[in-house]
Structure 1
Amino acid sequence: MAARGTTRRIPEKDSTIACVQCDGLAVMKMVKHCHEESTSNMDVAQGALLGLVVDDCLEITNCFPFPKQQDESMDEDEYQLAMMRRLRRVNVDHFHVGWYQSADVGNFLSLPLLESQYHYQTSIEESVVVIYDTQKSSRGFLSLKAYRLTPQAIEMYKDGEFTPEALLKLKVGYENLFVEVPVTIKNSALTNIMMSELAELIPEEEGSKFLDLGTASVLEGQLRCLMDRVDELNQEAIKFNRYQQLVSRQQQDKHRYLQKRAQENASRVAKDEPPLPEEDITKLFRPHPVPPRLQPMLTAGQINTYSQHISQFCSQSLAKLFITQALQNAKEQNSSP
């Protein structure tokens, strides 16, 4: 396993895919599916990505949703194979290049996602997972990001040891668990012409939305989720500190037991008596199970994601809130007698 044997050389970076290029049709199908699931039953929307690999660029040209888990009569693997066969018959790219999943206020980093991407990436080397944020996109900011597991994360999950020693040996942390791949959206020339014509029909804004607080709900949701994840990480830290205290107390008890036994053997030898028989220390002092560190690492990564989203997306909202608060206070002071 990871904690035993010779040290293996693991590449620091994943150079298989440098960029992801999505067709407008595939993006619209993902957006439609994710919003339908989020508004109807608040389920996580998932689907397959189809496309081709050209040099170091992954081109996503089509996609289709996975069947719902409630439908037990349909096998997911058979459904995917049937869909790809039908797409092949109509001359559509049918090569499986990854999968997509919806997210709510950036909440996507979890054990199921890690396990699914590991299986995808070990079977299809160029596969990616595309995360679409429904909350952020509904406020007018398209959030479409592609991620891949790093070589260290793949090696960690393959070994199956999530102890602090194994993670330290592989140099795996939340900051290098996933790597983000740049995503670009490409449309045909006719689509670009139509979008240019539609843009001319939209009336120009006259600067009346500088203090629009429409993104305040997204900021509130991300701050609440951030507090929840901080509480979870605090609970995990308490568990690990308790484990360290138990190990330290056990080491002290073992040391005292060995000293006492050595003194008894010395006194027995002085009395020409045979020493006490050897005992297995590990049976008397059984080692405490090491708490796995994978879930705390994912929680720390989710906290980092929330922090980045808040600093990038919600900094303007915070400034607007402070400005409107100052205007409200000034209005109240002027209206008071």
Structure 2
Amino acid sequence: MPHDQDQAREGRGIMKDKHILVTGGFGFLGSHLVERLLVDEDARVHVVDNLSTSPLDHEAFVRRVNDPRLTYDVLSIEDFFARGSFGPYQEIYHLASVVGPVGVLGHAGKITKSITDDTYRVIDIANRTNARLCDVSTSEIYGGGRDGYCSENDSKIITPKVSVRLEYAVAKLACEIALVNTCKVSDLFAVIIRPFNIAGPRQSGKGGFVLPRFIKQCLAGEPLTVYGDGGMIRAFTHVIDVADGIVRAARHGRRGEAYNIGNPQNKISIRELAERTVRITASESRIDYVDPKALFGPLFEEANDKYPDADKAMGELGWRPRFDLDTVIRDSVEYIRAGRLD
């Protein structure tokens, strides 16, 4: 049952339909979240996305969804906010952000302002409309945790080497702190999720994401490019599981709390992921070990090892990841083989 604080908040402006705002709703994760939200008959979903990082043909996606309850603006959050007409919203999901180990490189020095400015705008919209806010942060805020193991109870580590990737992580962490403190001094209801290595259909390799790159290389019979020695540890989580975790956090999470959303059972090294992708695709591609800085320049940095403690999400939200790693890979292969853009 909701806490008393939450019940008081939910009692304001009760409406028959649930109006929902999703920033970044045409992105890889955002599009799956939109589909998850529209499962509920009372949902009315409005997407704001400037398409700067979206891998989708958003018009094809909207046609395929074919639901009048989905509306959208192709706008930046800044322009949407400047318009000054909002809601009413009961839920806001904030996903809009630069993204990807390669995708962030072109935004060096500007990431902090972009992420923090947009988050403050979304906080303002949530306060004006009395909406529950779910902020999608990043597992990068742990800085690698304890030899890769990351629990919500762990310290947030800022690594000594300054990089573009660190700017992204620190900007996300600053926004988390601002959200939690705003909850303490206002009526804002906000929760935070930290996803771990989302993968699945619609993910593009353009931002530097590893699984779609491996799959495309396998299907083309090209060598798989593994960075360094491939020993980096990750826990790949199906995008459908992550979308479900986001909704559960928004609706059942505790105010001002953060939740890891990741599948610890899918823990694997990148080298082993390459080998498994070759096996599942029945490819004859070889595996090459390369220096990513030779490909992307000196600003590129690999993430530290990371895999989640997901007990908090499982215990408090009733969240359970359903998809094992082979399913994540097979679903991604099927999408890429079909050549779909939505």
Which TM-score band applies after superposition, normalised by the shorter structure? under 0.3
**Higher percent of residues as helix:** 1
Larger Rg: 1
Relative to the length of structure 1, the TM-score reads: 0.26
Relative to the length of structure 2, the TM-score reads: 0.26
